[in-house]
Amino acid sequence: MLAIVSWLLILADDITVIKYTQSFIPLYFSDIIVNILLSTFFLFTFLGFKVEIGSKRTGHFNDLLWQVFITGAITVLISLIIKSVGLFSQNDIFFNDPLISNVLYHINIGIITIFLANGFYVWKKMILYQKTKRTDVVWHIFEYLTLLSVVSNFFSFDITDPLFLAFSSPLTILGLVSAFNLKWVAFLSYKQKWRSILLLSLIIIISLSFLERIYEHHITSSLLIDLAENVFIQAIFGFMLLNSIVSLLVLLFNLPTSSVFEQKFGEVMLFQKLHQSLQVGEKEEDMYDMLVSSSMTTVMADAAWLEIRDNNGGLKAFKNSAIDEYDVFEIKKALRKNQINITSEPQYIKDILSYQHTDKIKHLGFKSFLLIPLTSNNQLIGTLVLLKNLHDGFDKEMVDIIFTFVSQASISIKNFRLMSDAIQTERYQEELKIAKDVQRSLLPTSMYLNNSIELSVYSKGAKEVGGDYYDSFELSPTRFAITIGDVSGHGTSAAFHMAQMKGVFQSLITLDLPVDEFMTHANNAIGRCLEKKNFITLSLFIINTETQTIEYARAGHCPAILIDGQNHTASFLDGKGLGLGLSRNGTYKKHINKYELSYKTGDVLILYTDGLVEAHNSSRDEYGYDRLKQLGIENAQNSPKQLIDTIIENVQHFSGSTQFEDDCTLLILKFS
């Protein structure tokens, strides 16, 4: 705004001055005022552009040059229109009248200044692209000195004046220094460079035409303000021209290397793209596609295929591009016949047709092959093969780049695998945890029979899911069924088998069958549910607290121990009995017996699973039945709870570990 006001004021002032001159009344003060106004106009025009262009984003150099060119073109057009209007009118007065010629000249000053200001700050932007501290400082000194040169408006110089030279020479030097900061040129693509050359040429032409205009006026007209004598305008013109010419030359010389640079730049971008594709979240499959397509573009291959092997050497993935799966097969056959095998080093075949056995692949037209192995931990995990129609089509740089590329991808594939393994393991552990929880929930949380039986339970699951089972059922207020069992095997299946066992027990026990019959039925039911290799051992006791008798059957389970509390003796409740599920041909009945015995007050019944007696020490000795029996006799007077603590402590002491390898259950009943 201020710039426009100043310009209008100068215009107005000039008109008055000229009027006065015409009337031969000199006005001395107007000179200074005119200079002040001119300087203000210059300064504010420049500041305006400084702010406007400064706010623009760098990087679009062509857009910036385009802007300079457009400004120039418009200004040239305006000045041409003015000139043509003048020519068209064929009026001598129009030219000779100092008033009109001065007014026109002022319009020229205005547009030239706009053109210069625009150009100046666009160049600033380009020169300071990727600036260093030094270039920044040099530029700022130059910029401020140039702006300072506005002051020279107040003195009238001739171009040849030594003072004029003294002031302009440092400016020229600084301008030269700055003009050679042409980093931006390197960031242009080949196409952009051509466009820049064109724009620069046009800008130079426009600048020259302006310069010509100024000097034309300088020589022909009598002017109040002569730009030709203005250091500021001279400096900027010089700077612009110099810069444009230098840039033009640099661009020209850069053109031949541009395509190579662009290729290298493209490779960097490809690496980045590949790297991004390796980030977490992308599918392994996508990465294979990426690897094939990126490799092909990088070396400009005509076809490619990729094979990925799993840890056992089986084919995990196959990707082909621009080649048939069948042709791949034929090529591989030909390679094998020529003893070309994939090793850990990349292999290069200059011309496959110079080898033997290539009749079947001749028609495909592929000549040079590049075979790159994908390795992880020195293990071959795949092969990438690139094919070209050219003889000796791959150079060393290409091979190096692709090899680096593929190494990077190999690492990613390895990471993908580690990750999926980790997820698998985690899922497996999660499932085990669920199985463990299910199994735990199947065991009774509290067991109470009646006041004449004191009962305590210890049950400890193994690290894995085991198959220990115990349960009880009240047949009448004085008759109780109590059972303990062990499902063969571990893991999730053991938990399910245990669930089946619980179902069988809970349904059969309500029938109140004799214990051997119970076992026969249970065997039939279990035999139908379980796999051939699986079985369940089970002991069932029916305790009558009124008659103080126990009826029991032992289906392959470790024999319970009954301790005589008075005589300090103990006996194993063994006897015939086959595990459930071991006989499935209807003959089970022959292999199970029912036993009955009576107990006395103070007697102790110890039920357990093999995890307890099979606990072993470091020299692989088992805890065994006798140690358990002996310990029971010695501590029979204690409560079941105390007895359990004593036994468990003893077993742990024996094995030297607090963690049982198998799961371990201990049930102790004391009769009163």
Partner 1 sequence: MRITTVKENEFYIIGIEGDLDASSSIQLDQAIEEAVANKESKIIVDCSQLEYISSAGLGVFMSYIHDFQENNISLVLCQLSEKVRNVFQILGLDELIKIVGTKEEAKTN
Of the candidates 42, 55, 74, 54, which has an alpha carbon nearest to the alpha carbon of residue 203?
74
CA–CA gap between residue 179 and residue 667 (Å, rounded)? 96
CA–CA gap between residue 186 and residue 201 (Å, rounded)? 19
* Nearest distance, CB of residue 577 and partner 1, angstroms: 5
What is the CB neighbour count within 10 angstroms for residue 181?
Answer: 22
* Nearest distance, CB of residue 654 and partner 1, angstroms: 16
Instruction: Indicate the helix (H) or strand (E) that contains 475.
Output: strand 468-476
Nearer Cβ to partner 1 (75/488):
488
Q: What angle do CA 509, 510, 515 make, to 5 degrees?
A: 35
Q: What angle do CA 568, 572, 577 make, to 5 degrees?
A: 165
CA–CA gap between residue 201 and residue 206 (Å, rounded)? 9
Of the residues 375, 583, 635, 665, which one makes contact with partner 1 according to CB under 8 A: 583
* Nearest distance, CB of residue 392 and partner 1, angstroms: 54
CA–CA gap between residue 467 and residue 443 (Å, rounded)? 11
Nearer Cβ to partner 1 (454/610):
610
Nearer Cβ to partner 1 (477/575):
575
CA–CA gap between residue 453 and residue 671 (Å, rounded)? 5
Query: Can you say how many angstroms the Cα of residue 62 is from the centroid of all Cα atoms in its chain?
Result: 34
What is the CB neighbour count within 10 angstroms for residue 292?
Answer: 22
Exposed, middle or buried: residue 556 (CB in 10 Å: 0-12, 13-18, 19+)?
buried
Of the residues 556, 565, 611, 640, which one makes contact with partner 1 according to CB under 8 A: 556
Of the residues 489, 565, 611, 640, which one makes contact with partner 1 according to CB under 8 A: 489
Using alpha carbons, list the distances in angstroms from residue 104 to 19, 116, 611, 613.
16, 18, 112, 117
Nearer Cβ to partner 1 (396/620):
620
Of the residues 125, 309, 584, 594, which one makes contact with partner 1 according to CB under 8 A: 584
Nearer Cβ to partner 1 (584/594):
584
Q: What are phi and psi of 465, to 5 degrees?
A: -80, 125
Of the residues 206, 240, 370, 578, which one makes contact with partner 1 according to CB under 8 A: 578
Q: Is 483 in the site for partner 1 (CB under 8 A)?
A: no
Nearer Cβ to partner 1 (305/535):
535
Nearer Cβ to partner 1 (451/587):
587
CA–CA gap between residue 324 and residue 322 (Å, rounded)? 7
Of the residues 119, 175, 565, 579, which one makes contact with partner 1 according to CB under 8 A: 579
Nearer Cβ to partner 1 (97/622):
622
CA–CA gap between residue 486 and residue 489 (Å, rounded)? 9
Nearer Cβ to partner 1 (167/535):
535
Site for partner 1 in 603-662 (CB under 8 A): 620, 622
Map residue 516 onto helix, strand or coil: helix
* Residue whose token pair is 């552009």: 49
Q: Which stretch binds partner 1 (CB under 8 A): 254-262, 333-341, 505-513, 583-591?
A: 583-591
Q: Is 461 in the site for partner 1 (CB under 8 A)?
A: no
Site for partner 1 in 507-536 (CB under 8 A): 532-535
Q: What are phi and psi of 565, to 5 degrees?
A: -70, -25
User: Residue count at the site for partner 1 (CB under 8 A)?
Assistant: 26
Q: Which stretch binds partner 1 (CB under 8 A): 281-289, 311-319, 413-421, 574-582?
A: 574-582
Write the CB contacts of 288 (distance below 8 Å, at least 6 apart in sequence).
306, 308, 317, 319
Site for partner 1 in 11-50 (CB under 8 A): none
Q: Is 558 in the site for partner 1 (CB under 8 A)?
A: yes
Q: Is 213 in the site for partner 1 (CB under 8 A)?
A: no
Q: Which stretch binds partner 1 (CB under 8 A): 85-93, 317-325, 347-355, 484-492?
A: 484-492
DSSP letter at 129? T
- Across-strand partners of 167? none
Nearer Cβ to partner 1 (361/613):
613
Are the CB atoms for 467 and 490 separated by under 8 Å?
Answer: yes
Q: Is 466 in the site for partner 1 (CB under 8 A)?
A: no
* Nearest distance, CB of residue 494 and partner 1, angstroms: 10
Type of residue at 407? S
Q: Is 485 in the site for partner 1 (CB under 8 A)?
A: no
Of the residues 576, 589, 600, 653, which one makes contact with partner 1 according to CB under 8 A: 576
Binding residues for partner 1, rule: CB under 8 A, are 486, 488-490, 532-535, 537, 555-559, 574, 576-579, 582-585, 591, 620, 622
